[in-house]
Structure 1
Amino acid sequence: MQSPGIPRSREAAPAGWRETADAAIEGGDDPVPSMLTALLRRPATAFSMLAVAVLLGHAAAALLIAQLPRASFGVEAIEDGMIRVTGDDRRYAADAPVAFVGSDGRVRLARVMEDLVPELEPRGSSSEITAIYAERDRIAALLREPGLMLRLPDGRQLPAAVRPGRIETLSSGFWLSFGIALCSSLAGLWALVLRPREWAARMFMLSGLGLALGAITIGALEQVSLATGSRTLFWITHINYLSAYIFGFAIVALFARYPRPLIGKALLAGFAAAQGAIWVMGLLKLDVDMLGIQIFVVLLLALLAVVLAGVQGWLSRYDPALRASFLLIWISLLLSMGLFSIVSLIPQLMGSPDIVPESVSAAAFLLFYLALAVAIARYRLFDLGSWAVNVGLSALVLIAVLAVDLALVLITGGTWTVSLAFLTAAILWLPLRELVLRRAERRRDKRDLLLLRGASEVAFAPRPEQQTVLWSQLLDRQFSPLTIAPVTCDTAAIRADGRILAIPSPLGGTGLVLSYANQGRRLFNSEDRSVATALVALVAEMVDARAAYDRGARAERQRIARDLHDDVGARLMTTLHRGDLETVHADVREAMADMRLIIDGMSDQPRRLSDIVADLRHETVNRLVLARIHAHWPITAIFDDERLVDALQARVLLSVTRELVSNVIRHAGAGTVSIRCALTGNSLLLAVRDDGRGFDVDSDTILGNGLRNTRKRLEELGGSMAVQSGPGGSVIEIGLPLPSREQGMSDRSMAV
């Protein structure tokens, strides 16, 4: 169902891609273009092809970075201004002397330990940076001299040489950055393939490429050593700046025109040109602090992106779809930009080392970037509202930990105190979190009880029209939609990017479509769909249970009516025409016995087989004696059988035996009746033999309704009846399946 004013759902998203594919292969009946058409119509195919190209490009970049030469030793700065050589636990003062010694024992270059720490992004004037790069090139060239040694302040000497780079020497930091680059590229491609004609998807793709380029250059910086020349380092750092510009501009351009155009494309083009000019200034090595300028521009881009996202979110506050989307977008952008600025950009601007390695900070940034991809592509948008809150809370806890830790560092003047920060956060956060979860659990339990009560009201409403009204009221109480309208659907489904929820009817017939949950304040999400599905199943089960109960009640009423008509009614009708008072008394006694049997059967309680047979023998012998007929029913082992027989089988056995004995009394003119009762396996066999006048077995008139009803009752329980009759009397044998001794209760499934 397509509601007026509601855009088509995401199934129609790749239309632009389909049109492009059609145009590309138009004009021809060749089956090869037809197959190509089918492939190009599928976004998954396009994404797979582009993903392979991206993977090959990243692999080529990894191989190129792996070729960077590596020094045979590394020098790094640690806390308290101390310096150490990689792989060595000894520490040296920053101003401790160190020298490169040739194979002839002469000193080739004398410096202090601080001079050997690689400065990846030097700051200062143009002449100062040129001097730093010249010193780096001098050391890199010196390392290629055969037999060169590094003499440490304690007199020890280490080999100082250049080792060729190999793929297996790439560090874990590089592979982390490589994974970030690959994920961001694929996320950008994914959004572009789903929404190829949308400005947001295109800018997001551009931002993904910028993040990927930045991550790759960060990975390259992980491989930089004293053997790396200044030219290589210069281009790696400036490409990293360019990636930050691309990413920042793409995010700013995205929110400048998505979902509402706030800034014209011409102004954005001018802004991009200004950024390009600043980057070119860095290439020209002007006599200014270009690193500070670059970092300031990146921070400005981050701030501008956050402001624009906030403005877009405010302007979209009355649209449930955009509001849910921007809740995730704005939180993701704010936290990612803020986190990256705190741990990386601001420390660099202040001349301090990064709080965490750049590869780690980029990994944290990627987490929110992927969340941003989900929101931009509007894929499963109806799940984003609650997810945005969860992501935001988790990130806020992380930001709080970092903020507390930085505050403790500034206050105490100590070193990194993350354990104290986590302890502080735990004291405040964990109890609050437990309180929130408990309240949420109580609300959920109350909601479940209300849903159960509402479902029972629908299922047990007296009339179908009342059930329909109550079902609509139940959905209205649960979801509070703006509108409810009829719809045809088989399963609960979310449509129009979460704006509407279609729910089938558990009562049969037309379903209902709900538009805009909570009176338009939010979209429908997957939890709503799950609740709707559970409600439909619950009400349907209750309706089926009620129908089964009604069928059982009707069947029981029909059985009682049949028993009253066939047994009591027929007997009393016959009694009206009796002239013999003694016979009338006998008929009344039999009618009362039939009434007692019917009433006992209504209790539906199982009885022991021995009790049933004993009662039946006592009643039958008394009836035959009163009718002046000699009765012979010997007591056998069946009178000691303790197995339980359910009420239905007991009732049929008693009713059938009474019917057979009544026929003998009324019609046979017999002087003797012999009854034999035995067990064969799990079946009861009962034979009634008389020495009366007999009857024609094949005559329907003589057979009468009594024997036909008797046979029908037995066959309904899987039993049987055999009739033999002649001038010397009649024999009627019945068989009735019983439960085994181990089973106790009979199996109801035997009844057809």
Structure 2
Amino acid sequence: MALRRKTPADRLFYAILGLSLALVAVIYCAVNQPSSHLRFEVKERQKISVFDGERLILQDVDSVAISAAGGQNRIQLNANDFTEDPHFVATYPEMQQFFIKQSQVHQLMSQHQQIFLHSGDHSSSTPYPVNIQPKRTLRDLPFEFWFQLAVSSIGFLLGCWIWALRPNEIAPRVFALLNAAYPVFAFSAAIYSTRDLALNAELFRVLVAINTGGALLYGCALISLFLVYPKQLIRTQWLWAIPIFFSVWWLLDTLFLLPEPSMGGDLPVTLQMLGAILCMVWQWRANRHDPRAKVALRWFALWILVSSGTFVFLVQSTQLLDIQLNMSQGYSFGFFLFVTIGIAIGLKRYQLFSLDRWAFGILYWLAGAILLVLLDAFLVMMLSPLMSLSLAILICGLVWLPVRGWLQARLLQRKKLSDSELFERILQVSFAVNEQERQLQWKALLNDLFQPLNLEISEQRNHSQIEDNGLVLYIPQVAGLAAMRLSYPQQGRRLFSEYDQQLIQNLLPFLAQAVESRVAYDNGVREERHRIARDLHDDLGAKLLSGLYQKDVDQAKQAIRQAIAEMRTIVNGLLGTGVELNVILQEFEYEVATRLQSCGIELNWQQNLADTPITLSYAQYRHYISMLREIISNIMKHANAQKVTIDISLLDSQLVSVICDDGAGFDGQTNQLEGNGLKNLRERATELSATLHFQRLPGTQGSRVELIFPLS
């Protein structure tokens, strides 16, 4: 049995799980330290000020001291003892002395519930009593602590997001490693840079080593990233040389074997940034003939260098050069957040890492999930232990749970189409105005059905098919709609199933029938428009031209009346209303009499219809009158007749029309090849479901044409 292939949501879930465990460990370590609630500030010229909450206790002193009751175990502290990072001290002996004092202070705070603060400048000053709490609370942790955790977590999740969508490619892997190193150095620094007075020395050393290792790992990944993206410049195995080299450097720093601390933390990070810049220049030259790669590289390098470079040159390099900017290391970690902003914008504008805009779907889901967790945590913090149980239950049950359910439905749950909605959407596809719009409607329907991360046109398949262990669903071409390839359903949170495939198989025939019906309807509309145009041109136009060239005013008026009647008939046909047979025959009798009279032919009109009004459809009218006109035209052209008799009657719900002449005579078999007239007559007879008979009368007595069609 094949193992289930992990989706992007699976990978992100494991990443979030690991991040959550790390956050819990960091917060646990931070709160499980003794607390004095004192705040120490080191200002210019290494002057120290001490605050108890907002109350100023000591101001601008060179040193302070703490002791137990009676001045026992007195420990003298100077500005170096309050530095954020031990690498900021000048020498390794000073760093070792720093750790020794940290251990002494931590031990003093752990063994006494109250200690005393002294001004180091005035040994005779009254000591200030300080109550020691065995642990810190979450509210005791400063904003700087949470800031470092937040920005590094966002960066980590961004890297995991890119990796989850492209797990098998080298560039997303290196980018994920880059962002995985972010919380490594930020989490450890968050603990010791926001400490109360001191940490246990052994814990402090471990945290500093982790921080330095994470920073060097970040720099190694940054160099490697510019060696593999946009184009891989060296073999993958050669990339290992970078972390191996800096691992040796990290080991020398951890063992205090370098000349000074700044060479262990600041110098290698600065060199790594310079190396990344050189690799970026190398990439630029390697891609100088690829405009698209150059645009992506320019944008990518801009944000990487702005974020990481600002931190390195404003924090690390200033320490290396002994320049004091008084910028908190914790807040400076926020510069790395520019990577997140730059990559997010670059994904949308330049498709970095070959990701399209669909990649934001899974990020939206991730943000929604994190938002719910944060809201849960906020509610837990707001409901203090002093609040009564009944009130807490009331708030959770009546307020929070309904609101949370609504948010979850809006942010995370899959939107499902009901049967009626699905039917309506299929009709929208079939009734689209053109093929392009129909294709867009079809894509929109598939997107709402499955919410895939990627939806694109693919090669033709004979039937729907699931591939890549449920990651991809192929949909065949149907009714002129292109074959589609869908991947990562429900924004990457699940796989395609047999149910999805069966749904498509049931949907396609119905869609095909609906689209084909629509196409047939469109064809009918076009044919009807063509017919109307033909009628307007052949009949109405002919009558208007006839009236235009009449010299006699009465004849011109009559031609115009006939044109108006013809136009009324066409309008009635468009409106779907029928035309009365008596009106048709009355107008046709006048028309035929006029035409025959102009040729010197006598008309004998006989009409025997019931008193019941008879209505013909527009199609029946057009075919019937056109056939009669064609027959009269043939008589006028070929028969050389003196008299024409037209007899119209009803027989068993059938309209029988007989036209006789006394001319030369003809029959439908011998004259059918003389032109298109007889062919058109037979075609119209077929449309009318009529029978058409031609008969030559005996001797030289002319011919007889009989037209019979059912009125139903």
TM-score (norm 2): 0.51
Give the direction of change, closer, same or farther, for the CA distance of 1:488–1:559 in structure 2 (3 Å limit): farther
Give the direction of change, closer, same or farther, for the CA distance of 1:280–1:657 in structure 2 (3 Å limit): same
Given that 2:37 and 2:196 are in contact with CA atoms closer than 8 Å, whether structure 1 keeps it comes out as: no
Q: Distance in 2 between matches of 1:208 and 1:65?
A: 23
The superposition leaves residues 470-507 of structure 1 with CA deviations (integer Å, 9 ceiling, x where unpaired) of xxxxxxxxxxxxxxxx99799xxxxxxxxxxxxxxxxx
Q: Distance in 2 between matches of 1:587 and 1:703?
A: 28
Q: Name the residue aligned to 1:145.
A: 112
Residue 558 (str. 1) matches residue 519 (str. 2): no
Given that 2:38 and 2:52 are in contact with CA atoms closer than 8 Å, whether structure 1 keeps it comes out as: yes
Identity of aligned residues (%): 16
Residue 231 (str. 1) matches residue 196 (str. 2): no
SS at match of 1:227: coil
How far does residue 213 in structure 1 lie from its aligned partner after superposition?
Answer: 0.5
Q: Distance in 1 between matches of 2:458 and 2:153?
A: 44
Residue 220 (str. 1) matches residue 174 (str. 2): no
SS at match of 1:74: strand
Q: Name the residue aligned to 2:356.
A: 380
Give the direction of change, closer, same or farther, for the CA distance of 1:324–1:698 in structure 2 (3 Å limit): same
Q: Name the residue aligned to 1:357.
A: 328
Give the direction of change, closer, same or farther, for the CA distance of 1:136–1:554 in structure 2 (3 Å limit): same
Q: Name the residue aligned to 2:441.
A: none
Give the alignment partner of residue 67 of structure 1, picking from 32, 37, 41.
Answer: 32
Letter in structure 1 aligned against 2:654: D
Q: Distance in 1 between matches of 2:573 and 2:352?
A: 67
Given that 1:71 and 1:163 are in contact with CA atoms closer than 8 Å, whether structure 2 keeps it comes out as: no
Give the gaps of 5 or more residues in structure 1: 1-32, 385-458, 460-485, 491-507, 512-543, 573-583, 605-645, 676-693, 706-752
User: Superposed, which structure 2 residues align to 1:126-525 within 5 Å?
Assistant: 126-143=92-109, 144-151=111-118, 157-167=128-138, 169-258=140-229, 262=233, 269-286=240-257, 288-320=259-291, 322-352=293-323, 356-368=327-339, 371=342, 377-380=353-356
Q: Distance in 2 between matches of 1:568 and 1:133?
A: 111
Q: Name the residue aligned to 1:594.
A: 562
Q: Distance in 2 between matches of 1:306 and 1:358?
A: 23
Q: Name the residue aligned to 2:663.
A: none
How far does residue 364 in structure 1 lie from its aligned partner after superposition?
Answer: 3.0
SS at match of 2:33: coil
How far does residue 42 in structure 1 lie from its aligned partner after superposition?
Answer: 4.0
Q: Distance in 1 between matches of 2:576 and 2:356?
A: 61
Q: Kindly report the root-mean-square deviation, in angstroms, between the aligned alpha carbons of the 2 structures.
A: 5.4
Q: Distance in 1 between matches of 2:38 and 2:7?
A: 52
How far does residue 695 in structure 1 lie from its aligned partner after superposition?
Answer: 6.6
Given that 2:30 and 2:195 are in contact with CA atoms closer than 8 Å, whether structure 1 keeps it comes out as: no
Q: Distance in 1 between matches of 2:146 and 2:242?
A: 34
Give the direction of change, closer, same or farther, for the CA distance of 1:92–1:351 in structure 2 (3 Å limit): farther
How far does residue 252 in structure 1 lie from its aligned partner after superposition?
Answer: 1.7
Give the direction of change, closer, same or farther, for the CA distance of 1:660–1:291 in structure 2 (3 Å limit): same
SS at match of 1:163: coil
Q: Distance in 2 between matches of 1:263 and 1:591?
A: 91
Given that 1:69 and 1:164 are in contact with CA atoms closer than 8 Å, whether structure 2 keeps it comes out as: yes
Given that 2:156 and 2:180 are in contact with CA atoms closer than 8 Å, whether structure 1 keeps it comes out as: yes
Q: Distance in 2 between matches of 1:376 and 1:596?
A: 69
Give the direction of change, closer, same or farther, for the CA distance of 1:102–1:488 in structure 2 (3 Å limit): closer
Give the direction of change, closer, same or farther, for the CA distance of 1:382–1:668 in structure 2 (3 Å limit): closer
How far does residue 305 in structure 1 lie from its aligned partner after superposition?
Answer: 0.9
Q: Distance in 2 between matches of 1:116 and 1:160?
A: 21
Give the alignment partner of residue 55 of structure 1, picking from 17, 20, 25.
Answer: 20
SS at match of 1:224: coil
The superposition leaves residues 33-74 of structure 1 with CA deviations (integer Å, 9 ceiling, x where unpaired) of 34xx2x226454344345434433443343334323333322
Give the direction of change, closer, same or farther, for the CA distance of 1:205–1:664 in structure 2 (3 Å limit): closer
Q: Distance in 2 between matches of 1:74 and 1:62?
A: 20
User: Superposed, which structure 2 residues align to 1:542-691 within 5 Å?
Assistant: 554-560=530-536, 563-564=539-540, 590-598=558-566, 658-659=583-584
Letter in structure 1 aligned against 2:535: R
The superposition leaves residues 602-621 of structure 1 with CA deviations (integer Å, 9 ceiling, x where unpaired) of 9x9xxxxxxxxxxxxxxxxx
Given that 1:68 and 1:228 are in contact with CA atoms closer than 8 Å, whether structure 2 keeps it comes out as: yes
Letter in structure 1 aligned against 2:35: R
How far does residue 315 in structure 1 lie from its aligned partner after superposition?
Answer: 0.5
Given that 2:84 and 2:193 are in contact with CA atoms closer than 8 Å, whether structure 1 keeps it comes out as: no
Given that 1:201 and 1:376 are in contact with CA atoms closer than 8 Å, whether structure 2 keeps it comes out as: no
The superposition leaves residues 294-348 of structure 1 with CA deviations (integer Å, 9 ceiling, x where unpaired) of 2011001011012102211221122355334423332232222222224322333
The superposition leaves residues 523-552 of structure 1 with CA deviations (integer Å, 9 ceiling, x where unpaired) of xxxxxxxxxxxxxxxxxxxxx9x9999767
Residue 700 (str. 1) matches residue 668 (str. 2): no
Letter in structure 2 aligned against 1:56: L
Q: Distance in 2 between matches of 1:215 and 1:358?
A: 10
Give the gaps of 5 or more residues in structure 2: 361-432, 434-456, 462-479, 484-519, 591-604, 614-647, 660-712
Number of aligned positions between the proteins: 449
Q: Distance in 1 between matches of 2:340 and 2:589?
A: 93
Residue 40 (str. 1) matches residue 11 (str. 2): no
Q: Distance in 1 between matches of 2:240 and 2:530?
A: 80
How far does residue 510 in structure 1 lie from its aligned partner after superposition?
Answer: 10
Letter in structure 1 aligned against 2:93: S
Q: Name the residue aligned to 1:7.
A: none
Given that 1:127 and 1:287 are in contact with CA atoms closer than 8 Å, whether structure 2 keeps it comes out as: no
Give the direction of change, closer, same or farther, for the CA distance of 1:658–1:318 in structure 2 (3 Å limit): same
Given that 1:200 and 1:376 are in contact with CA atoms closer than 8 Å, whether structure 2 keeps it comes out as: no
Q: Distance in 2 between matches of 1:261 and 1:595?
A: 80
User: Superposed, which structure 2 residues align to 1:697-736 within 5 Å?
Assistant: 698=652, 700-701=654-655
How far does residue 290 in structure 1 lie from its aligned partner after superposition?
Answer: 1.6
Give the alignment partner of residue 77 of structure 1, picking from 42, 50, 58.
Answer: 42
Q: Distance in 2 between matches of 1:557 and 1:200?
A: 64
The superposition leaves residues 545-565 of structure 1 with CA deviations (integer Å, 9 ceiling, x where unpaired) of x99997676344333357559
Letter in structure 1 aligned against 2:105: I
Give the direction of change, closer, same or farther, for the CA distance of 1:704–1:268 in structure 2 (3 Å limit): same
Give the direction of change, closer, same or farther, for the CA distance of 1:316–1:165 in structure 2 (3 Å limit): same
Q: Distance in 2 between matches of 1:101 and 1:330?
A: 52
Q: Name the residue aligned to 1:95.
A: 61
Given that 1:204 and 1:250 are in contact with CA atoms closer than 8 Å, whether structure 2 keeps it comes out as: yes
Q: Distance in 2 between matches of 1:77 and 1:704?
A: 120
How far does residue 240 in structure 1 lie from its aligned partner after superposition?
Answer: 0.9
How far does residue 248 in structure 1 lie from its aligned partner after superposition?
Answer: 0.9
TM-score (norm 1): 0.49
Give the direction of change, closer, same or farther, for the CA distance of 1:138–1:55 in structure 2 (3 Å limit): closer
Q: Distance in 1 between matches of 2:253 and 2:576?
A: 102
